[in-house]
Amino acid sequence: MTEEIRKLADMIRASENIVFFGGAGVSTESGIPDFRSAKGIYSEKWKRDLSPEEIISHSFYERHPEEFWEFYKDKLCYPEAEPNDCHKALAKLEEMGKVKAVVTQNIDGLHQKAGSKKVYELHGSVLRNYCTLCKKFFTLEEVLSAPGVPVCDRCKMPIKPDVVLYEEPLNDDVTEKAIRAISKADMLIIGGTSLVVYPAAGLIRYFRGERLVLVNKSRTQADASADLVIHEPIGEVFREVMSLL
């Protein structure tokens, strides 16, 4: 891996406007598994296992809030998780003026916890929750400590996490800012994503820069078009590259 790391360090040195685009693989080293790999839950009513994609959907949230919240609290919320070396390196690179934005498909808030300022969360964040009626804000801890379906203490209406569920559109403002950042970048590092989740994965088409890097454990469809491909754990990659910068 040393040769690849050296090349990555050279590319970072040569760049002034780096954007990082990350997915679930960025947080696995912080102990957060990709929820799509979760088993789902068995439904007594339908006598079958429901897939994570079915449960984390808008219609399921509306029709079966108890089961939605049971799965959501158990499989999508990790209040104890800490940033790993990838999150920390990106925050440091932003401080150094290299990284201009982090675009993430993750909803764990770990980039901000590591110190990153410019973070575009395409799928929202479990750290933000709002009453569906009065829009009062609730923390993740408040939501997790509520039994069953969390409700607003003011109006008794259900609380909804600020997370983009399946069947829901992405936030236009966040998407536009992410596209603008990617289209202005001279280097794009894509990490921890298999690039299969659309429309988020389509955002990388806006990249017009010179250096495209992919860091992912397994092969992706974009490998062939990248200037550098590293199939190693992303935390390790960033820890090593930072020691060279």
Among 5, 119, 131, 203, binds Zn ion (CB under 5 A): 131
> How would you label 87-118 residue by residue, b for 16+ Cβ within 10 Å and e otherwise?
bbbbbbbbeeebbbbbbbbbbbbbbbbbebee
Say how far apart CA 236 and CA 208 lie, in whole Å. Answer: 28
Which token pair is 38? 């979760």
Say how far apart CA 19 and CA 211 lie, in whole Å. Answer: 11
Among 64, 113, 136, 239, binds Zn ion (CB under 5 A): 136
Residue with tokens 């454990």: 217
Q: Is 64 in the site for Zn ion (CB under 5 A)?
A: no
Nearer to Zn ion, 114 or 152 (CB): 152
Among 152, 188, 195, 215, binds Zn ion (CB under 5 A): 152
Candidate ranges 48-56, 82-90, 131-139, 169-177; the one touching Zn ion (CB under 5 A): 131-139
Judge whether 123 counts as a catalytic residue: yes
> How would you label 159-174 residue by residue, b for 16+ Cβ within 10 Å and e otherwise?
bbbbbbbeeeebbeeb
Residue with tokens 């829901």: 168
Nearer to Zn ion, 136 or 231 (CB): 136
Amino acid (one-letter) located at 177: K
Candidate ranges 103-111, 118-126, 154-162, 211-219; the one touching Zn ion (CB under 5 A): 154-162
Q: How far is the CB of 35 from Zn ion (least distance, A)?
A: 27
Q: How far is the CB of 134 from Zn ion (least distance, A)?
A: 3
Burial class of 15 by CB neighbour count within 10 A (0 to 12, 13 to 18, 19+): buried
Q: How far is the CB of 69 from Zn ion (least distance, A)?
A: 17
Candidate ranges 27-35, 53-61, 123-131, 210-218; the one touching Zn ion (CB under 5 A): 123-131
What residues make contact with Zn ion under the rule CB under 5 A? 131, 133-134, 136, 152, 154-155
Q: Supply the residues annotated as catalytic.
A: 123
